[in-house]
Amino acid sequence: MNNRIKNIKVNLTSEEFINDQFSNSDDDALFDNIGDYMTGCLDLEDIKNDPALSATKEVVNEMINDYNKKLFGNGDNEKFIKEIFSGNESEDKISDEIRTIKQEIAEKNLDLVTSEWVSEWQAKKQTGNFDPKTQEISNFITGAINSSDAEQAGPGYDGLKKRSERTIFAKYASLSAAALIGVFLLIKTLLPTTDPEKLFHSFYKPFEAISPVTRSMNNSEPDRYSSAITSYKNGNYKGAVAGFESVLENDPLSESARFLLGMSQLALQNYSQTIDLLTGVANGHGEYGKEAEWYLGLSYLKTGNKAKAIDCFEYLVKSNGFYRERAENILYRLK
């Protein structure tokens, strides 16, 4: 814990948090990203709880209709906003490029390598003894910069300066653009679309939050139930199916066993059995009601029943909880 605190420079004389920076700029950037996301989340939550939201949406609806029909439009306003943003954009691009470069420096320990080079160079400079090769390089660089300065003094300096700035920017931009293209190529095969089948694969993850104990179990079932859960966690879904079916024979009202049997059948791609099982759990609105609704929606997507899938996700959107945002996300692609 103390080591972690040492990594952050704290200015206790300041009234603001603003000086709490990491000594590593990579960590600073990561914390900023996390902060951006969390700020966005908190704002969205605040807005959704604003009692004036519905009334505002109605007013705004009309405004947007007018805007789309071009019933109003002040060119000066547009110019005012766009000029500010075009300035922001170039600064943001440069900041992003610098951030990418700093990340690469941190990942490859380039600081260590380059600081050694700098130390060697400084040692040579202090002694004033350059070897012939170093002298030749020094003369070349100095000569090139001096001739560039001479050109800058003449007309066309602005063009040269802008050209060299653009060249530097283009180099940094091409580094990050190339990295981005590489990432796109690598993950392209995993991209989902609005196609229901592909949406299923994009959003489906096996259910993991399993407790080995459930309140609804009677005393005779813990061993069979625990064993079935162990099978499920180990990916032995056939074993899990057999285990949960056995539990249900003796305790047909066990919602958790029914739900997990549904999850096991889903993992085995037995979608019609999954739908039968999860429908019962979802309709019961018990402990696993929302989970059942979510996976039922995904199962309907997989079997091509888009309308029923939409019903499930709409239900989740209306209720609070973990699946609400995911349901909103998936609904926008389905509708």
Partner 1 sequence: MKEYTDNEIIECLRNRQSYVVHYLSDRYMPMIRLMVYQKGGSNEDARDIFQDGLIIMLEKLDNKEFALTCKFKTFLYCVCENLWKSVLDKRLAAANYISRRSEPETEKDFTDQIDHQMYEDIFREVFETLDPIGKKILTLYWQEISPQEIAEKLGYTYGYVRKKKCEAQSELTEKVKKHPGYMSIRKTDIAAREVLH
Choice from 202, 236, 246, 279 touching partner 1 (CB under 8 A): 202
Q: How far is the CB of 238 from partner 1 (least distance, A)?
A: 27
223 sits near partner 1 (criterion: CB under 8 A): no
192 sits near partner 1 (criterion: CB under 8 A): yes
Choice from 134, 226, 279, 329 touching partner 1 (CB under 8 A): 329
321 phi-psi bin (left φ>0, alpha ψ -120 to 50, beta other): left
Q: How far is the CB of 330 from partner 1 (least distance, A)?
A: 10
40 sits near partner 1 (criterion: CB under 8 A): yes
Q: How far is the CB of 68 from partner 1 (least distance, A)?
A: 6
Q: How far is the CB of 93 from partner 1 (least distance, A)?
A: 11
Choice from 147, 156, 194, 211 touching partner 1 (CB under 8 A): 194
215 sits near partner 1 (criterion: CB under 8 A): no
Within 10 angstroms of residue 180's Cβ, the number of other Cβ atoms is 11
Token pair in block for residue 65: 């209709």
Q: Looking at beta carbons only, is 82 or 171 nearer to partner 1?
A: 82
User: Which 137-156 residues touch partner 1, going by CB under 8 A?
Assistant: none
Q: Looking at beta carbons only, is 17 or 117 nearer to partner 1?
A: 17
The contact pattern for partner 1, residues 19-38, with x = CB under 8 A and - = no contact, is: -x-x----x--xx-xxxxxx
314 sits near partner 1 (criterion: CB under 8 A): no
Within 10 angstroms of residue 328's Cβ, the number of other Cβ atoms is 13
**What is the biggest distance separating any 2 CA atoms in the chain, rounded to whole angstroms?**
94
209 sits near partner 1 (criterion: CB under 8 A): no
Within 10 angstroms of residue 217's Cβ, the number of other Cβ atoms is 18
Instruction: Tell me whether strands 8-9 and 21-22 are parallel, antiparallel or unpaired.
Output: antiparallel
Stretch that binds partner 1, among 73-81, 216-224, 234-242, 245-253 (CB under 8 A): 73-81
77 sits near partner 1 (criterion: CB under 8 A): yes
Choice from 112, 153, 187, 209 touching partner 1 (CB under 8 A): 187
Q: Looking at beta carbons only, is 248 or 317 nearer to partner 1?
A: 317
Number of residues that bind partner 1 (CB under 8 A): 77
Size (the chain), residues? 335
8 sits near partner 1 (criterion: CB under 8 A): yes
User: Which 81-110 residues touch partner 1, going by CB under 8 A?
Assistant: 81-82, 84-85, 88-89, 104, 107
